[in-house]
Amino acid sequence: MSDALQKTITLLLLIALGLLLKSKFKNKDQTNGIKEIILSVALPSTIFISLMKIDIDSSMFVIPLVTLIFNFLMFFSAPLAFALFGIEKNSPTGRTLMMLIPSLAPGLSCFPFIAEFLGEKSLAIAALADVGNKFFVLISLYILAMNMFLKNSDDKETKMGGKLKSLFASMFQEPINLLIFIAIILLSLGINYSKLPPLVVDIFDKTSAMMTPLVLLFIGLAVQLKEGKKRIVASILFFRAGITMLISAGMIYVLNINDQNMVLLAIVIPLSAASFWPLAHISAFNLREDAKGMAKEKRTFDLELAVLLLAFSLPFSTILILAILSSGSFFAHTSTLITAGLILICLGAVPNVLSKVFVKVSKASS
């Protein structure tokens, strides 16, 4: 058995263990507790170690900018889904998808597998890439949500300046971002991981070791199979993955990326699950509409759709990322990437096309 296959089976078995333990974690606070340990302890430690062990040069700081450009390309590509699936852009569904489609959450859905398959240097680059994504999901999407809310409800009371100041403060208070900032300062002073006190190194090593098992168990625990708008959610996730692959192929070609690990990073980071932050923004504005007693169909966003899409996004992205990384160099070619992207878009469109055909046949027979 090859190392890649053995590693993939091990990771999948840990996810399966999480599924088996779901009955033991009936309280949502329990799974949220595991998530908090991952995001506040294990993942920050892993990223700090990865950054401190590599030589960072000034050219690497273009990486967050490239990710930010990708976020905006995804944002402007989202309306293509509306045309494909017959969604009205200015409807609660359309506005919700405009928030979620371009957002990324690589921490839970991508970083553990990058660490396992591509190594510490690749993980450090991925962490830098997520800085650009954080600016997008925290700042750009909040401004977008605010604009949508104001247009839909004619609310004039919101003070955007105070909210943005609060968002900037919260962003720099996150353990991941704080440790990235500390690591960059230490490296600029010529202090790398080997020069840190042994006690500090030991703490980071042990907390980092928890990351992959905890993330995989959490994925198994968090999988939800709720009824509802599953068809549109599945279609959107296939479309999102497909358009992501096409944009990744374009960026790989334009930036002339040749190193296999960098190519795989350019593919799997954008395939990360949708971020929780758009849901946080949506929930905040939904509460304000609750207070006004606004009817569900007149609201700015569809909160139920946002929750359902997030629930399916994590396992969907995990499966795709695992498949790509375990396949070695198979996807490290733009032609393969373009073909896979087009196939995924077609798979997303099939349910809607079949539904329309069924309706036409039904009308013709009646």
Q: What is the value of pTM for the model shown?
A: 0.74
Residues in the chain: 366
Residue-level pLDDT at 327: 85
Please write down the long-range contacts of 322-329, taking CB distance under 8 Å and 24 or more positions apart: 322/8, 322/11, 322/12, 322/113, 324/264, 324/267, 324/268, 324/271, 325/4, 325/113, 325/114, 325/116, 325/117, 325/118, 325/264, 325/268, 326/4, 326/5, 326/7, 326/8, 326/117, 327/4, 328/4, 329/260
For the stretch 88-97, pLDDT in tens is: 888 888 999 9
For the stretch 219-255, pLDDT in tens is: 777 666 555 567 788 889 999 999 999 999 999 999 9
3-358 is classed CATH 1.20.1530: yes
Crossing angle for the helix pair 303-326 and 260-268, nearest 10 degrees? 160
For the stretch 243-289, pLDDT in tens is: 999 999 999 999 998 889 999 999 999 999 898 778 778 877 887 77
- 55/51 Cα distance (integer angstroms): 8
Query: Any idea where the domains of the chain sit in the sequence?
Result: 3-358
